[in-house]
Structure 1
Amino acid sequence: MDEKDFALLHMLKECGNITHAADRLYLTQSALSKRIKAIERELGCEIIIRTRKGVRFTPEGELVLGRTAQVRHELDLLRRELGATQGEVCGTLRAGFSTNYAFVHLADVIAEYHERYPLVHLDISIGKSSDLHGRLQSGALDLAVLRGELPWDGMQYLLAQERLCAVCTHELEQLPLSELTYINHTTDLAQTALMTRWLHENNLANDANRINVTDLMTCQELVKRGIGWALLPEIVLDGFDGCIRPCTFANGEPFIRRMYIDCQKESERLPQVQALIDIIKAQYAHTENA
């Protein structure tokens, strides 16, 4: 077996289907099937079972997947560490960014990084913080910019503390929030609990007068159009021309949401990773001071 076989098996696991895996690998189904048979002959065991719904890995196949994932990771780390000794920042960098951070800041960060370090191969993922956190824990990412309190035992840097604000248009600001439609956006469970707490403390937990949307930017756009009001973090309020009221809990504690850079311990010493961390910190500090 070689690295191509490792990639083949993991693609097959991801797709769960010979046809789809062959398409993704730019192989014919016949060629893929022959290669699987060759691997099974080499290992002396059956690693997949074909079913009507696709393919399933045998217990032996699952063991092979686990071991080859470890080998791929170690080989990747070896190549990147060797690249770091050559005097130039190069190698591969796998980074994840929460959707809201990416919408506001990512283009500037990547443009500056690529200009400074053109030899680095960037593998960028954008998504929910909870999903990226899972990928970080599995070792699929070197670092991630995440929003909210997610457990992490690697390296962690506090990037920002944002106030949560009650926002609406100027045309609506003289009306009590209780008379306006509340526009709610989907977020993680911890943040949802804090939002619910604030709403209850302010007697605003009225489900009858509410619109639910799945993302922050749609929520903001509805507010801009005068549909109602929302609880929004400062990260999306730059340039918002409306009424912005920072929120405080009943005990006087400000309602804030923290943003972190979480990094794998073994990845932090790689120059390409540290370079990205430095640019993210500097770029965010510049934005805050602008």
Structure 2
Amino acid sequence: MDEKDWLILRTIHEEGSITKASEALFMSQPALTKRIQLLEHDFKVKILSRSRKGITFTSEGEYLVKYSSQMLSRLNETKDHLVNMKSNSLQGTLKIGVSINYAYNILPGVLKQFSKHFPKIKTKITSGYSNEMIDLFKQKKFHIAIARGDFIWEGPRHHIDSDYICIVSKEKIKFELLPELPRLIYKTDTSLTRILDDWWKDHFDHPPFIASEVDNSQTCFEMVTQGLGFAIMPRFCIKTFKDLYVENIYWKNGDLLMRDTWMIYREEDLDLSAVREFISFMDDNNQSFISKKIY
């Protein structure tokens, strides 16, 4: 079983038919069928079951598909790693895990400039909640993670930005009336949710009146602009300040409520030229990207 077999099994599984798989692989159907028959003979198991409804993988076939996908992934990672290790070769694939809001607001500009300097370096970007990105980074799914908030990481980290947390509403509101007013909340990572809960308890004895809960900050912001309630969110998430009431919030001791953004990586990955260059690029140019935020 070799790379070609791995690719055949994965493609048949993805396409759901021999016909579509043969077209995707630029192979004839008889040649593809023959290859499957040889694999079945070598492993002495049935890989595919055929019926009028089409093909399905047997349990043994599903196992081989999973194995094939893993092997193709490992092979690609090995190829990328070897290319990246060449000190005089600024190419390869850079894998970055990024918090949703940073990916939405800042990352496109970063990648545009980075690609101008290093056109042969490919980037593979995964975005999500910061806690999810940190977990995946620790599983070595990425070379670099850009995440927001407080988290445990004993390796190297670079500070990217500090962001104010604020109240945003259509009309000016009195602070002491917040528990009585409709609040809009959105799904976010656990660290920010915890901070906002702690801040609320620091100031009020009663829970907020939650008028609506949505699945992302952009929708929440748009609902605020329609006067459906107030929200508490990082300024990072506010697309415009026009015709809105926006006020930074403080802890009871007078400290501003803020949230940091960090870039983290592993020391051993500095052997990879793409990783080294991206970190250096961010250190040299980060402030120019941050200064373009709407404040």
Q: TM-score, normalised by structure 1?
A: 0.77
Deviations 1:19-62 (A, max 9, x none): 399559814795655444444555x4649576999546549746
8 Å CA contact 1:102–1:126 kept in 2: the answer is yes
Distance in 2 between the 1:201 and 1:124 partners? 37
- Whether 2:243 is the aligned partner of 1:233: answer no
In the alignment, the residues of structure 2 paired with residue 162 and residue 144 of structure 1 have an alpha-carbon distance, to the nearest angstrom, of 18
Q: 1:127 is aligned with what amino acid?
A: G
2:259 counterpart residue number: 257
Question: Could you say if the C-alpha distance between residues 23 and 162 of structure 1 is closer, same or farther in structure 2, counting changes exceeding 3 Å?
Answer: farther
Listed as ranges, the matches of 1:1-290 within 5 Å are 1-9=1-9, 15=14, 18-19=16-17, 23=21, 26-27=24-25, 30=29, 34-39=34-39, 41=41, 44=43, 46=45, 54-55=56-57, 58=60, 61=64, 69-81=73-85, 84-85=86-87, 87-152=88-153, 154-169=155-170, 171-174=171-174, 176-203=177-204, 205-207=207-209, 209-237=210-238, 239-241=240-242, 242-250=244-252, 252=254, 254-288=256-290
The answer on whether the counterparts of 1:168 and 1:228 sit within 8 Å (CA) in structure 2 is: yes
**Structure 2 CA distance for partners of 1:120 and 1:186, relative to 1, 3 Å:** same
In 2, the alpha carbon distance for the partners of 1:153 and 1:8 equals: 42
1:75–1:91 CA distance, 2 compared to 1 (3 A): closer
Post-superposition shift, 1:214? 0.7
Q: Judging changes above 3 Å, is the alpha-carbon distance between structure 1 residues 88 and 63 closer, same or farther for their aligned structure 2 residues?
A: closer
Unaligned runs of 5+ in 2: none
- The 3-state SS of whatever aligns with 2:90 is coil
Q: Distance in 1 between matches of 2:8 and 2:266?
A: 26
In 1, the alpha carbon distance for the partners of 2:68 and 2:133 equals: 25
Counterpart secondary structure, 1:277? helix
Q: Residue 166 of structure 1 aligns to a residue in which SS?
A: strand
Distance 1:146 1:54 in 2: 41
Distance 1:205 1:37, change over 3 A: farther
Per the TM alignment, residue 11 of structure 1 is displaced from its structure 2 partner at its CA by: 5.8
The structure with the largest alpha-carbon Rg is 2
TM-score by length of 2: 0.75
Which runs of no fewer than 5 residues in structure 1 stay unpaired? none
1:129-169: CA deviation from partner (whole Å, max 9, x where unpaired):
34434443443322222223444455432322322212223
State how far apart, in whole Å, the 2-side matches of 1:167 and 1:178 are: 15
**Matched AA of 1:268:** L
CA change 1:238–1:217 in 2 (3 A) is closer
Which whole-Å CA distance do the structure 2 matches of 1:245 and 1:275 have between them?
38
Q: CA deviation at 1:183?
A: 0.8
The question of whether the paired residues in 2 share the 8 Å contact of 1:109 and 1:279 is answered with no
Native 8 Å contact 1:162 1:234 kept in 2: yes
